[in-house]
Chain A
Amino acid sequence: MKVTLRELTKEFPSRNKKSKEKVVAVNNFTFEIPDGKLVGLLGPSGCGKSTTLNLISGLEKPTRGRVFFGEEDVTDLPPEVRGVGLVFQNYALYPHMTVLQNILFPLQNLKGDKKLTKEQMLQKANEAAKLVQIGELLERRPSELSGGQQQRVAIARALVKMPRILLLDEPLSNLDARLRLQTREELRRIQRETGITTVFVTHDQEEAMSISDMIVVMRSGVLEQLGLPQDVYDDPENLFVAKFLGTPPINVFAGEVKNGGLYIGKQRVLSVRGAGDGSVTVGIRPEGFIPREGGALTCGLTAVEVMGRDTSVVCTHPNSLNSGIRAIISSESRHGVGGDTVSFDLKPSKVHLFGVVNENRIRAELTPPESEAGA
């Protein structure tokens, strides 16, 4: 089932009674979630992710705009009849029911021709339990389960009635790092097996990048960019998206375009075609640095950290706009690195230019600087 949001807006009355200003939690959202895909809804805390999810589930009514499931306009339908499965951030398992009773609960609600016999319900509940691998926990109460097990029960409860859409609100945030890694793979598997269109909220970009078919980046209620995770990462539309995606984060410098070249400080680091002269903000991905003696960009060396396969070089530059520059290089190329300074060549595809004021991407053709190219 494809989901379409059209000019969706949700305003909350301000909690400060004196100011009439409203909180715009979701601002004029328009996008389409393709059928059967896993979509990661991504953004910093308070940007309106949960509100968007609640608008899709029907727990909140939009101030303006429409929600469609397939071709059906569900904007005015209450949550009871929308047929969505929702996994809450804190799971919201009913504490007085066993795992089995929790999973059976949505089935017992079915009415009319959808009504099931006891045996059918049990069979479905067992199937759902098997899917999330909690078959042996059915008689326990939620308080007797670990966080990861509770999460699976919550997913089973959301899946058992075969919802048209599955919504997950930060389902992994209560788990420890290792369990989170494991469970997110599981989520991916379950979504693939069932083929249910799934929206998955997180503020962890790595989580979203790793399992989503498509990611949607939002900031203070506004949709910033959407697309395939790799596309959004490689081709950010503005500085916010560029900064938000990627660990370690993108390195930002104050730079300048003049004479057909990109300058950081006094050094001409790349050739530029198709951008007007003037100051720019330069974003360089950590993996965009290639250490080379006499390279285009010279930085002060702070530390070299070896982390297994990769080596991370921490350095400084007067034009850097974040507290430290972090470059990820392969372990073989680290041998030349030492002393007080280090020089890098830059991979043009890993360098992005942004406007200084509006922070929007300046699309220009970047190539290695001519003077070096021949050498």
Chain B
Amino acid sequence: MKTAYGRSLPRRKARPGHKRGLKAWLYLLPAILFLGFFMVYPLVDVLIYSFEEGYNSASQTFLGVGTYNYSYVLHDPYFLQAVKNTFVLVIITVPVSTGLALLISLGLNSIKKLKELYQTVYFLPYVTNTLAVGLVFMILFKKTPYTDGMVNLLIGLFGGKSVDFIDGPHWAKMFVLCFYTVWVVLPFKILILTSALASVKQDYYNAAKVDGTGKWRIFTRITLPMISPMIFYLVITGFIGAFKAYSDAVALFGTNLNAAGMNTIVGYVYDMLYGDSGGFPSYASAAALILFAIVFTITVINLAISRRRAIY
């Protein structure tokens, strides 16, 4: 049903063709060299490592070429645990943080005068060091010989049973990690969404009001579609960010994440390289490429959906 109106504008010809192209490449050269050296070369290297079986980093030798590294990693219970943790983290924190940020932004947007003040307050966690925030979370959640932590005190107040969030059951630790991740990513999302909301012209709301539109319908039919490009942006970068999570887990549970059962994929890669049981760049490379494949697939799907939805 769509018309192709205005989609086939004649393309501008690149005049003095060759010379121009040459110049452009010349300008790009430093960037290409830099990127090639620091990004493309290591990527290729990782790819090569991941197929070298029995690689020894001391002697720089390997036994053969094949997919054993992948099959090892995919059968390693620590890796499977890390994948599970990462997926739980992604699936919970991305929607929750985006939804929460949207709610808070909507609130901020309707209180015009307090907008600026609140924006700084909500942005605070963004400029605060992750590890410092982690410390605060320890105080909130950690059980010590002296106290059960703030949260447990509250749970106790309401007659609940105290839970060990840092060294206790897996779900409790996962809860803290998700809570923490949401907390850390929230301010950035709020900032993006408040400015997206503020950029929706008042005229659209006025037009809708005059046409007798209810509040909820204004939100779903006008506000949401208008800010949907920004929401998609946040979801895509949120997915990527959550898949790369590592330092948050370290901040909460220390460096021995495998033992705590709280490792993430990036954490697994790191441990394979430098951890106590490390020194296996081939396994690390294979794990890293598996992560790359996952992130790539999900981003492509995300982009495809957002193309179809956010049209204008």
Q: Which residues of A contact B (CB under 8 A)?
A: 57-59, 78-86, 88, 90, 92, 94-96, 105-106, 108-110, 139-141, 143-144, 157, 161
Question: Shortest Cβ distance from B109 into chain A, in angstroms?
Answer: 18
Q: Does B217 contact A (CB under 8 A)?
A: yes
Residues of B near A82 (CB, < 8 A) are 210
Please state if B226 and A140 are interface contacts (CB–CB under 8 Å): no
Please state if B221 and A79 are interface contacts (CB–CB under 8 Å): no
Closest to B204 in A: A92
Contact of A106 among B2, B212, B228, B311 (CB under 8 A): B212
Q: Does B145 contact A (CB under 8 A)?
A: no
Complex: how many Å from CA A92 to CA B228?
Answer: 18
Please state if B209 and A78 are interface contacts (CB–CB under 8 Å): yes
Q: Please, could you name 23 A-B residue pairs with CB atoms under 8 Å apart, sorted by A?
A: A57-B210, A59-B209, A80-B210, A80-B212, A82-B210, A83-B212, A85-B210, A88-B206, A92-B201, A92-B203, A92-B204, A92-B207, A94-B204, A96-B225, A96-B226, A96-B228, A106-B212, A139-B3, A140-B5, A141-B312, A143-B312, A144-B6, A161-B212
Residues of B near A57 (CB, < 8 A) are 210
Question: Shortest Cβ distance from B222 into chain A, in angstroms?
Answer: 6
Between A and B, how many residue pairs show CB distances below 8 Å? 71
Question: Shortest Cβ distance from B10 into chain A, in angstroms?
Answer: 18
Complex: how many Å from CA A110 to CA B206?
Answer: 17
Please state if A86 and B226 are interface contacts (CB–CB under 8 Å): no
Complex: how many Å from CA A143 to CA B3?
Answer: 12
Please state if A109 and B312 are interface contacts (CB–CB under 8 Å): no
Complex: how many Å from CA A141 to CA B311?
Answer: 10
Closest to A101 in B: B221
Q: Does B30 contact A (CB under 8 A)?
A: no
Please state if A109 and B211 are interface contacts (CB–CB under 8 Å): yes
Residues of B near A139 (CB, < 8 A) are 1-3
Q: Does B195 contact A (CB under 8 A)?
A: no
Please state if B3 and A140 are interface contacts (CB–CB under 8 Å): yes
Q: Does B162 contact A (CB under 8 A)?
A: no
Complex: how many Å from CA A80 to CA B212?
Answer: 4
Please state if A79 and B209 are interface contacts (CB–CB under 8 Å): yes
Q: Does B237 contact A (CB under 8 A)?
A: no
Question: Shortest Cβ distance from A292 into chain B, in angstroms?
Answer: 56
Closest to B214 in A: A109
Please state if B5 and A59 are interface contacts (CB–CB under 8 Å): no
